C-alpha cells in the first residue's frame, strides 16, 4: 500500500503549512498535522516506504547470507562448521539494538548505515536455522544419491540442500520482519536511522513525543503504523507457516 504512497497521500509530505500546524484530525487532514503543519497521513504513507524499504533491504541482505553460511556449515561439517558457527555465535552474543547503535554511531547516522547495522545483527539466527535444517537432510538417502551422481559439494548445497531450507527461512523471515521494523523505528527514534526531514516512522514518533499530552495524535499515528505493520507481518508469517511447513503434512 505504501508503494502507492504518491497516489494515496493527499498532500506532499514535505509541504509545510505553518498556519495549520498541530491541527486536529479533520476531513482535510485525516490524521492531523505535525509541528510544521505537514499532513501526518501523507507522512505515514511516505514513511512506510522508508521503513518497509529498510526491512526489505535487510531481509534481502540477511536471508541469503544466513542460508549460505548455515548450509555450508551444516553440510561440510568438521572445521568449516566449527569456524562458521563460532563466528555466528559471536554476532549472536551482542544484543541487537546495542550492536546496531554502536555500528551506526561509528559510521554516520543514516538509512544505509541503519540497514547495514540491522543486517549485521539479524543474520545469525538464519544461519543457525539453515544449519539445523541441513544437518537433518545431510544423511538422507536422496543426498547420498546426489553424491553418487558425482555432484560437487557446492552443487549439492546449492541445488539440493538450500531449496529445502528456504521454506522455513521464509517463515522465519516474515516473523522476523516485525522485529526489524521495530529495530529500524527504534534507531530512527534515537536519531540514528533516517534523518529529518525524511518521514520515517520512528523519527516521527521521536519529534512528535513533545506534543503527546496536548496533540496526542501527532506521535500516536506513526506509533500505530509501526504496531499495525508488525502485527501484519506476524500474521503473514503464521499464515505462511501453515502453508509451507513440511512437518504439517501436505
Sign of torsion over alpha carbons 101, 106, 111, 114 = negative
Comparing CB distances to other proteins, the nearer of 8 and 244 is 244
Q: Cα–Cα distances in Å, from 160 out to 69, 75, 125?
A: 15, 11, 21
Residues 196-225, interacting with other proteins (CB under 8 A): none
How far apart are alpha carbons 126 and 93 in whole angstroms?
15
Helix H segments across the chain? 5-8, 40-76, 78-93, 96-106, 111-138, 141-148, 153-155, 162-189, 201-208, 217-244
CB 85 within 8 A of CB 131: yes
**68, 84, 164, 226: which one contacts other proteins (CB under 8 A)?**
164
Smallest gap from Cβ 93 to other proteins, in A, equals 30
Number of residues that bind other proteins (CB under 8 A): 17
The torsion angles phi and psi of 39, rounded to 5 degrees, stand at -70, 120
Smallest gap from Cβ 132 to other proteins, in A, equals 17
Smallest gap from Cβ 228 to other proteins, in A, equals 34
Residue window 121-150: x/- pattern of binding to other proteins, with contact defined by CB under 8 A:
-------------------xxx-xxxxxxx
Comparing CB distances to other proteins, the nearer of 107 and 144 is 144
Smallest gap from Cβ 160 to other proteins, in A, equals 6
Smallest gap from Cβ 141 to other proteins, in A, equals 4
Smallest gap from Cβ 145 to other proteins, in A, equals 6
Instruction: Count Cβ neighbours within 10 Å for each residue of 90-127 and write b for 16 or more, e otherwise.
Output: ebeeeebbebbbebbeeeebebebbbbbbbbbbbbbbb
Comparing CB distances to other proteins, the nearer of 94 and 137 is 137
Query: Is position 78 an interface residue for other proteins (rule: CB under 8 A)?
Result: no
Q: Contact residues for other proteins (CB under 8 A)?
A: 140-142, 144-151, 155, 159-160, 163-164, 246
Amino acid at each position: 500500500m505504501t508503494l502507492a504512497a504518491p497516489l494515496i497521500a493527499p498532500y506532499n509530505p514535505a509541504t509545510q503549512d505553518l498556519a495549520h500546524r498541530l491541527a486536529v484530525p479533520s476531513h482535510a487532514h485525516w490524521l492531523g498535522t505535525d509541528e510544521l503543519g505537514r499532513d501526518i497521513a501523507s507522512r505515514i504513507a511516505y514513511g512506510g516506504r522508508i521503513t518497509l524499504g529498510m526491512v526489505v533491504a535487510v531481509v534481502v541482505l540477511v536471508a541469503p547470507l544466513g542460508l549460505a553460511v548455515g548450509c555450508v556449515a551444516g553440510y561440510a561439517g568438521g572445521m568449516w562448521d566449527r569456524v562458521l558457527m563460532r563466528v555466528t555465535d559471536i554476532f549472536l552474543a551482542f544484543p541487537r539494538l546495542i550492536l546496531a547503535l554502536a555500528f551506526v554511531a561509528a559510521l554516520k547516522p543514516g538509512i544505509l548505515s541503519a540497514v547495514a547495522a540491522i543486517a549485521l545483527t539479524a543474520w545469525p539466527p538464519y544461519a543457525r536455522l539453515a544449519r539445523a535444517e541441513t544437518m537433518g537432510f545431510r544423511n538422507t538417502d536422496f543426498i547420498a544419491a546426489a553424491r553418487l551422481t558425482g555432484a560437487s559439494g557446492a552443487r549439492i548445497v546449492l541445488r539440493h540442500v538450500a531449496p529445502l531450507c528456504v521454506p522455513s527461512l521464509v517463515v522465519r523471515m516474515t516473523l522476523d520482519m516485525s522485529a526489524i521494523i521495530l529495530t529500524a523505528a527504534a534507531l530512527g527514534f534515537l536519531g540514528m536511522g533516517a534523518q529529518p526531514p525524511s518521514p520515517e516512522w520512528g523519527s516521527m514518533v521521536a519529534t512528535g513525543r513533545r506534543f503527546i499530552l496536548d496533540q496526542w495524535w501527532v506521535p500516536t499515528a506513526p506509533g500505530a503504523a509501526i504496531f499495525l505493520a508488525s502485527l501484519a507481518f506476524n500474521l503473514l508469517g503464521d499464515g505462511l507457516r501453515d502453508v509451507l511447513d513440511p512437518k504439517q503434512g501436505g
